[in-house]
Amino acid sequence: MAATVTLEPAGRCSWDEPVRVVVRGLDPGQRVTLRASLRDEKDALFRAHAQYCADACGELDLTRAPALGGSFTGLEPMGLLWALESEEPHARLVKRDVQTPYAVELEVLDGHEPEAGRLLGRTVHERHFLSPGVRREPVRAGRVRAALFLPPGAGPFPGIIDLFGSGGGLCEYRASLLAGHGFAVLALAYFRFEDLPENMNEIHLEYFEEAVGFMLQHPKVKGPSVGLLGFSKGGDLCLSMASFLKGITATVLINACVANTIGALHYKDMIIPDLGSDLKKHTITESGLLDFMDIWNNPLEEPYHQSLIPLEKAQGPFLFIVGMDDRSWRSEFYAHIASERLQAHGKDRPQIICYPGTGHCIDPPYFPPSRASVHAVLGLPIFYGGEPKAHSRAQIDAWQQIQTFFHKHLNGKKSVKPSKM
């Protein structure tokens, strides 16, 4: 082959780490097309491509060379990853088995697509979800069904419980990556997994209390408290946990509601009703996707006020991460309700970070932004919002902000090492 594709750093790389892609051995000013592809565990193919010109020395460095066309344009060193799209409509790239890497094939072709010609060079780049030394322990403790990720070393480590949303099951990819940054992270399932309930008609907070107890009793977890990380429905569950349970110091919410949603929440002799929704209020996008942002009732109005979570009872600080183009619900509105309620009760104002052009599904860095996908429970294509380039930048920053927040409030550190790209 005429060209060589090199990656820096070479060798093993975590999914949330940037890499520098350099192509050498080209002609000065040569027009080439770079293609990236990977297959997920269901054998779905995801692809991206971009057009470039080599420099005067016949080298192409993606940290310096802007893409001239293709799946993205401009200076985007990691664009070939975050721009990956499935050949199947509305498929979302997630990692189901974190114990295996994703193999990304990178190819260099002569010319610019669709006239791209012969293959000039290729390489396979493995991106891992378990950093060296990180251990995964399946958890079946009492009623708790989860996976615990522990960093290398003797510990103990600051502990975090990680909750996903209304798709159910056990999602481990965020927890596994976060463990690579020094946290003991429990990816917690709460429905549609093993012997857990199949739906969320009723949710009992005692289950989550048991998970907190498991973490605080674990010899590798640094007490006397843990942090919470919740996305979507998992966010309002984390708010409820912080409000009613002991042993919680810091809570991060990613596009979460400030009211209890989808099913009634039970704890001891207390019930918080579901906020409720009116599915007739949904809209349909030009491409035929369901937009659910307007279906939810307003928790500030009667009779929906009873669904508000009394987060003023919580002991620790909050970080709200908000996609300003979230089409699943009004995340920015809910974050400001939380801020006003906390201040009205003499509590500190929460940290709220709003990301323009960013939709509902805010993942770790370099995951392709999910603007729409088929919902795991509803079985229908849902529109999540977001503009790919802005959303991908938000994911990088939000990942740093989450680590900084937890290191500060669980570990006493002031900052984390920023990403180089």
Q: Which tens digit of pLDDT belongs to each residue from 64-123? A: 999 999 999 999 999 999 999 999 888 899 999 999 999 999 999 999 977 668 999 999
Q: Convert the chain into a string of H (helix), E (strand) and C (coil).
A: CCCEEEEECCCCEECCCCCEEEEECCCCCCEEEEEEEEECCCCCEEEEEEEEECCCCCCEECCCCCECEECCCECCCCHHHHCCEECCCCCCCCCCCCCCCEEEEEEEEECCCCCCCCEEEEEEEEEECCCCCCEEEEEEECCEEEEEEECCCCCCEEEEEEECCCCCCCCCHHHHHHHCCCCEEEEECCCCCCCCCCCCCEEEHHHHHHHHHHHHHCCCEEEEEEEEEEECHHHHHHHHHHHHCCCEEEEEEECCCCECCCCEEEECCEEECCCCECHHHCEECCCCCEECCCCECCCCCCCHHHHECCHHHCCCCEEEEEECCCCCCCHHHHHHHHHHHHHHCCCCCCEEEEECCCCCECCCCCCCCECEEECCCCCCEEECCCCHHHHHHHHHHHHHHHHHHHHHHHHCCCCCCCCCC
Mean pLDDT, the chain, rounded, equals 94
Give the model confidence (pLDDT) of 358-391 as tens digits.
Answer: 999 999 999 999 999 888 767 788 999 999 999 9
Joined together, the tokens standing for residue 199 give: 């739906």
- Closest of 135, 192, 144, 141 to residue 375, by C-alpha: 192
Q: What is the reported pLDDT for 211?
A: 98
Q: Rounded CA gap, 85 and 48, in Å?
A: 6
Whether the pLDDT of residue 419 is over 80: the answer is no
**CATH C-level class of 4-128:** mainly beta
User: pLDDT tens across 324-365, in order?
Assistant: 999 999 999 999 999 999 999 999 999 999 999 999 999 999
CATH class of the domain defined by 135-411: alpha beta
- CATH 3.40.50.1820: which residues of the chain? 135-411
Judge whether 292 and 273 are in contact, CB under 8 Å. Answer: no
271: which residues sit within 8 A by CB, 6+ positions away?
264, 265
Residue 154 predicted with pLDDT over 70: yes
Q: Which residue matches tokens 């005067």?
A: 56
Average pLDDT over residues 17-27: 97
CB count, 10 Å around CB of 389?
17
Q: For residue 417, what pLDDT is reported?
A: 55
Instruction: Delimit the CATH 2.60.40.2240 region(s) of the chain.
Output: 4-128
In one-letter notation, the amino acid at residue 158 is P
What would the pLDDT profile of 251-300 be if each residue is shown by its tens digit? 999 999 999 999 999 999 999 999 998 888 889 988 888 898 989 999 99
pLDDT, tens digit, 9 for 90 and up, residues 301-312: 999 999 999 999
* pLDDT at residue 40 greater than cutoff 80: yes
Report the pLDDT averaged over residues 166-191: 97
The two three-digit tokens of residue 413, written as one number: 């550190």
Q: How far apart are CA 186 and CA 105, in angstroms?
A: 32
Whole-angstrom Cα distance, residue 404 to residue 252?
Answer: 11
Cα–Cα distance measured from residue 419 to residue 390, given in angstroms and rounded to the nearest whole number? 17
The pLDDT assigned to 12 comes to: 86
Radius of gyration of the chain (CA): 22
Q: What pLDDT score does 413 carry?
A: 67
Mean pLDDT value of segment 57-66: 98
- Residues marked active site are found at 232, 326, 360
User: What confidence category does residue 1 fall into, taking pLDDT thresholds of 50, 70 and 90?
Assistant: low
- The Cα 205–Cα 213 span in angstroms is 12
pTM > 0.85? yes
Give the C-alpha separation, 327 to 369, whole Å: 14
User: Would you place residue 421 in the very low, low, confident or very high pLDDT band (cuts 50, 70, 90)?
Assistant: very low
Question: Residue 116: its pLDDT value, please?
Answer: 66
